[in-house]
């Protein structure tokens, strides 16, 4: 079929088409692609474009002035490495056409910054010849901004030869767990943890893809040029010390250990809790929300918006908005509005507008859908506060780094108290912010076992749980590629007694850590979580959030199984928000005596 490929396309790819195009079009480009490419190289008629003047490849090619102006300080390192002799002719041609000049001359200088209301996503016919370089929803200005920041445009799901290469690397990591260094190597520059993560452009948002992409560029710009600065670090450090109340302490569950010993022949491991429930607002969410509010202020935004499940993220965003004098809109599934009423009241007291979401499952996924839609319609003044290590790059990286204070503090505190590090680290897992924040400090200690604890809900049937790692499959949601709970019709479903864990997708880093067997995914069902809720309350005087109760189930199981070991469990939030709901719907658990819970039995 090689002879059927037009000459002008062959000249676009002198070394043959790239692997992803070979895989997609093994028999050559279909007619509609050929027609699109004809138009995209400046020929609006029906014939193939005329050949350019006979310029045989000269090395190195002269770099046009308009490209030099794009990079006044020289090209970023990744482009220098990729094109050591300067950009090849096809890239120069592509840039000519994508800065608005459809002729053969270099483009005129564009204004410094076009009004954003005038920026429109190009049509299919205005796409650049190399479709793998510029996604269809990205304007040329956006492309250039991303190039200046040293990042690649979205490439979506990894397939073909690149996927095979990643699979081999991951197999090596599984086979030899002790030879690789994790910290600092993941995610890569494009936001991938192996094949997970990245930017799934076709899933960004239905309402305003271009606006969302502009947000990505703003956010990545902050990641590179603001977050590493002393200004940001000092401001965040002061907020955490004076406003949040960090560092939070660790606490040993001595009474529960005694209860276990009575039923386990005097044997029990030591259980230490990281008390994130003692944070201002009652959960770990404030760790990243205050940082996100600083980012919003730097960008000149006037409103924070978010989706929330249990209300802890919404409460933290509302708190941050009040602290910085910003407006706040919180989207919350109507089921959760009724279930988590105390947090709804607190958000309103703080000045936030709480907007019930009544479509779909009326829970966390739909709340996030509604929040993203609102942001897409109001990008100029609004900053979208992501609530976990989910969504498009760079949010899984940013939220992880804002949450890693949990593990960093706990590691130091535990060593000070015991003279050693834990054998096991446990945290509940929904999207994954509290768990990755806890695990991050221990990822390079390969002999320390890490347990993300998922909600097993009321059974293994689709829609009865929210256990993505245990029962999900690879897929994408809200712009990231990870493990999802999705049926053959494309419907997402999840259930958990804990609203904050009821999400049908897990953060991409958790998917990667599972695949390289660095973590040991486990689960706790609704009954076990309720028992843990009451056990910790009655035995230690600590009322945990229902989300955190899932993690504590695993901590108790490990203490029974490993009597000589130390178990560190993150209590991600307190359960004040859950007390009314639990007592109205499960009052029978309150009647169980402290030493009679099934969870204590061996």
Report the catalytic residues: 253, 284
CA distance 387 to 226: 20
Q: 180-186 long-range CB contacts below 8 Å, 24 or more apart? A: 181/444, 182/443, 182/444, 182/518, 183/440, 183/443, 183/444, 186/509, 186/512
> Distance between CA 9 and CA 384 in Å, rounded?
41
Strands (E), 468-590: 473-477, 480-484, 522-525, 566-571
Contact criterion met (CB below 8 Å) for 496 and 459:
no
Q: How far apart are CA 547 and CA 559, in angstroms?
A: 20
Sequence-distant (≥ 6) Cβ neighbours of residue 290 within 8 angstroms: 236, 239, 240, 243, 244, 316, 320, 323
CA 129 to chain centre: 31
| 177 token code pair | 């767990």
What are the tokens at 1? Answer: 């079929």
Instruction: Please give the Cα distance from 550 to 396 (Å, whole number).
Output: 22
Residue 156 to residue 506: CA distance in whole angstroms:
17
C-alpha distances in angstroms, 341 versus 211, 356, 503, 567, 578?
33, 12, 19, 33, 9
- Describe the crossing of helices 341-349 and 312-324 by its angle, rounded to 10 degrees: 10
DSSP 8-state assignment for residue 118: G
The Cα–Cα gap between 486 and 481 comes to: 13
Say what the alpha-carbon torsion angle 335, 338, 342, 348 is, to the nearest 10 degrees. 90
- The Cα-based distances of 449 to 249, 522, 550 in angstroms read 22, 12, 17
- Smallest CA-to-CA distance from 368 within 377, 357, 379, 378 is with 357
What end-to-end distance do the CA atoms of the chain give, in Å? 68
Q: In whole angstroms, how far apart are CA 586 and each of 551, 583, 599?
A: 20, 5, 17
Residues 519, 510: contact at Cβ < 8 Å?
yes
């Amino acid at each position: 079929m090689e002879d059927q490929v037009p000459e002008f396309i062959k000249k676009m790819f002198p070394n043959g088409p790239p692997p992803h195009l070979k895989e997609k079009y093994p028999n050559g480009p279909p007619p509609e692609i050929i027609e699109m490419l004809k138009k995209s190289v400046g020929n609006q008629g029906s014939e193939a474009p005329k050949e350019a003047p006979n310029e045989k490849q000269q090395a190195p090619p002269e770099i046009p002035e308009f490209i030099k102006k794009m990079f006044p300080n020289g090209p970023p390192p990744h482009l220098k490495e990729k094109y050591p002799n300067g950009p090849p002719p096809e890239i120069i041609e592509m840039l000519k056409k994508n800065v608005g000049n459809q002729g053969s001359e270099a483009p005129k200088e564009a204004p410094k910054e076009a009004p954003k209301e005038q920026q429109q996503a190009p049509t299919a016919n205005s796409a650049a010849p190399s479709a793998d370089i510029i996604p269809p929803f990205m304007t040329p200005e956006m492309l250039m901004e991303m190039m200046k920041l040293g990042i690649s445009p979205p490439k979506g799901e990894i397939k073909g030869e690149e996927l095979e290469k990643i699979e081999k690397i991951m197999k090596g990591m599984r086979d030899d767990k002790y030879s690789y260094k994790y910290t600092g190597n993941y995610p890569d520059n494009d936001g991938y943890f192996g094949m997970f993560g990245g930017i799934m452009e076709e899933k960004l948002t239905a309402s305003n893809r271009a606006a969302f992409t502009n947000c990505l560029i703003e956010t990545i710009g902050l990641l590179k040029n603001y977050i590493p600065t002393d200004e940001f670090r000092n401001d965040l450090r002061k907020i955490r010390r004076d406003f949040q109340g960090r560092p939070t302490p660790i606490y040993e569950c001595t009474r529960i250990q005694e209860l276990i010993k009575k039923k386990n022949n005097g044997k029990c491991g030591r259980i230490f809790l990281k008390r994130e429930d003692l944070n201002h607002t009652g959960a770990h969410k404030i760790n990243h929300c205050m940082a996100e509010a600083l980012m919003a202020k730097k960008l000149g935004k006037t409103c924070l918006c978010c989706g929330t499940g249990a209300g802890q993220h919404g409460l933290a965003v509302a708190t941050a908005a009040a602290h910085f004098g910003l407006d706040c809109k919180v989207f919350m599934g109507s089921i959760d509005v009724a279930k988590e009423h105390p947090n709804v009241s607190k958000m309103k007291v703080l000045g936030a507008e709480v907007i019930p979401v009544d479509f779909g499952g009326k829970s966390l996924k739909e709340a996030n859908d509604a929040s993203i839609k609102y942001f897409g319609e109001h990008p100029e003044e609004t900053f979208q506060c992501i609530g976990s290590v989910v969504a498009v790059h760079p949010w899984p990286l940013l939220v992880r780094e804002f949450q890693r204070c949990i593990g960093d503090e706990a590691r130091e505190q535990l060593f000070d108290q015991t003279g050693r590090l834990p054998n096991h680290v446990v945290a509940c897992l929904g999207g994954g912010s509290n768990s990755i924040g806890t695990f991050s400090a221990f990822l390079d200690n390969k002999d320390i076992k890490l347990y993300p604890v998922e909600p097993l809900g009321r059974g293994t049937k689709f829609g009865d749980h929210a256990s993505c790692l245990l029962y999900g499959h690879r897929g994408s949601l809200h712009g990231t590629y990870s493990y999802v709970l999705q049926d053959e019709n494309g419907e997402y479903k999840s259930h958990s007694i804990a609203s904050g864990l009821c999400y049908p997708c897990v953060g991409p880093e958790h998917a990667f850590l599972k695949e390289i067997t660095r973590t040991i995914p486990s689960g706790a069902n609704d009954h076990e979580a309720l028992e843990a809720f009451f056990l910790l309350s009655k035995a230690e005087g600590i009322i945990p959030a229902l989300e955190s109760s899932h993690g504590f189930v695993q901590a108790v199981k490990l203490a029974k199984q490993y009597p000589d070991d130390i178990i560190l469990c993150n209590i991600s939030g307190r359960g004040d928000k859950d007390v009314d709901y639990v007592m109205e719907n499960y009052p029978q658990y309150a009647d169980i005596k402290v030493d009679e819970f099934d969870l204590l039995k061996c």
